[in-house]
Structure 1
Amino acid sequence: MKRYSLALDLKDDPQLIAEYEDHHKKVWPEILKSIRDAGIDSMEIYRTGNRLFMIMEVNDTFSFEKKSKADSTNPKVQAWEALMWKYQQPLPVAKPGEKWIIMEKIFELPAR
């Protein structure tokens, strides 16, 4: 199993942040299905201030390219992404059109 860590910012507005969190308390079933169908076995999102941090554990069937292609033809995923973009903003280091950015692991304490 492979693990990815990603980051994204929210617009720095307490009301928008609260709305974003509310949406994530009741994620649409079609979105959850698309995540699982892509080979993502586990996903967590954490927030501090307006910074988001996501951890994804994926199986061997997962690829970002396949997920992106499937999402581009899924109307529910497109509607969810459009809704979420009301709350999100790219990181300062993001390239045009880039949302979640893969983070580079710089340290690991090995298990005993």
Structure 2
Amino acid sequence: MPRYCFALDLKNDPCLIAEYEAWHKSVWPEIIASIRYAGIDHMEIYRWENRLFMIMEVKDTFCFERKAAMDAANPKVQEWEELMWKYQQGLPGVAAGEKWQPMNKLFAL
């Protein structure tokens, strides 16, 4: 099963970080359904300070372009993404408005 890892920063504000975590304790069911329908079998998000790390395990048929098109056509996903952008900020050095950045695997045991 393919695995992808991504990083993203939150705005460095303890109140906003707490709100972001609260939202992720009860992610909207439409968002969960969209994630699963796209072919993502497993997803975890971890936080250190204001840095997020996401692990996705996907079906062999998963396609980032297809997922992006599905998300763009889904009003509930767009609503969620707009809400989350209140808390998120791009990593240093990325273009304005870019969110999750793919990470390169450097080591495996």
Measured against the shorter chain, the TM-score band is over 0.9
2:67 and 2:93 map into 1 onto residues whose CA distance is: 23
Q: How do residues 85-104 of structure 1 correspond to structure 2 at under 5 angstroms?
A: 85-104=85-104
- Uncovered stretches (5+) of structure 1, i.e. residues with no partner: none
Question: In the alignment, residue 55 of structure 2 is paired with which amino acid?
Answer: I
- Uncovered stretches (5+) of structure 2, i.e. residues with no partner: none
The residue aligned with 1:62 is 62
SS at match of 1:25: coil
Q: TM-score, normalised by structure 2?
A: 0.97
Divergent runs of 4+, >6 A:
none
The residue aligned with 1:84 is 84
Pairwise CA RMSD: 0.7
The residue aligned with 2:72 is 72
1:50 and 1:42 map into 2 onto residues whose CA distance is: 23
1:57 and 1:104 map into 2 onto residues whose CA distance is: 15
Q: Matched residues, percent identical?
A: 69
Q: TM-score, normalised by structure 1?
A: 0.95
How many Å apart are 1:77 and its aligned residue?
Answer: 0.1
SS at match of 2:24: helix
How many Å apart are 1:69 and its aligned residue?
Answer: 0.3
How many Å apart are 1:61 and its aligned residue?
Answer: 2.1
SS at match of 2:42: strand
SS at match of 2:76: helix
How many Å apart are 1:96 and its aligned residue?
Answer: 3.4
2:79 and 2:101 map into 1 onto residues whose CA distance is: 21
SS at match of 2:53: strand
1:73 and 1:66 map into 2 onto residues whose CA distance is: 11
Q: How do residues 40-55 of structure 1 correspond to structure 2 at under 5 angstroms?
A: 40-55=40-55
